[in-house]
Structure 1
Amino acid sequence: MGNIGGFFNNVLSEMRKVSWPKRKELTRYTIVVLSTCIFMALFFALIDTGISAAVRWFLAL
């Protein structure tokens, strides 16, 4: 099965080497992600509304 203790020691060693973002960077990244999600949600809602209207129009013929 392997040496589980050695594995976790290696994980801790690697986690200490990680360059964690500063508070300002983290805030900026969070704003970018949230704004992108909101934009994409609005974009796909608009596309969905257009396709739904087209299908309703086509079925009404």
Structure 2
Amino acid sequence: MAKKSKTQRARASARRAKRKELQEQEVLAAEDSSSANTTEAPEKKGLFKKSEKPAETQPKASEKKPAKKQEKAKKPGFFSEVRAEMKRVTWPNRQDVIRWSGVVVGALVFFGVYVFILDNWIVTPLLLAISSLGA
């Protein structure tokens, strides 16, 4: 069996952590719903009907604005997000960098020679032959 790369291992680890988190949330939701079902019957509502809540429980528009200001203050800045993202990057090791640098240099040499041959030995003689026909 082939050895998994760092990226594959990191993705698998992230999937396991996410799956575990979802299972924990489901357990908590099941506990909350079981306790809510024993105390109060859920309201039945139609597909397009709004739920009827008392006016006291619905937040007013003026109450929503301070909450948004608090959320903006808590958001991290651009550079802290960049730093956090750079920590998650799977960096290549020295051997991979050398190998892929060799591939890039080889491709550049190959295409440079290809364009040189195409330009000097095929296209230029054809253009000279075509231009001499008219004279």
TM-score (norm 2): 0.41
Distance 1:8 1:17 in 2: 14
Deviations 1:15-51 (A, max 9, x none): 0110111000000000000000110111011111110
Query: Which residue number corresponds to residue 52 of structure 2?
Result: none
Query: Which residue number corresponds to residue 82 of structure 2?
Result: 11
Aligned-residue CA RMSD (Å): 1.8
Work out which of the residue numbers 97, 100, 121 in structure 2 matches 1:29: 100
Number of residue-to-residue matches in the alignment: 59
Once the two structures are superposed, the pairs formed by residues 30-45 of structure 1 within 5 Å of their partners are: 30-45=101-116
Runs of 4+ in 1 over 4 A off after TM superposition: none
Query: Which residue number corresponds to residue 20 of structure 1?
Result: 91
Query: Which residue number corresponds to residue 128 of structure 2?
Result: 56
* Unmatched runs of 5 consecutive residues or more in structure 1: none
TM-score (norm 1): 0.86
Q: Which has the higher contact order (CA 8 A, sep 6+)?
A: 2
State the 1:60 CA deviation: 2.1
The 3-state SS of whatever aligns with 2:91 is: coil
Distance 2:83 2:124 in 1: 52
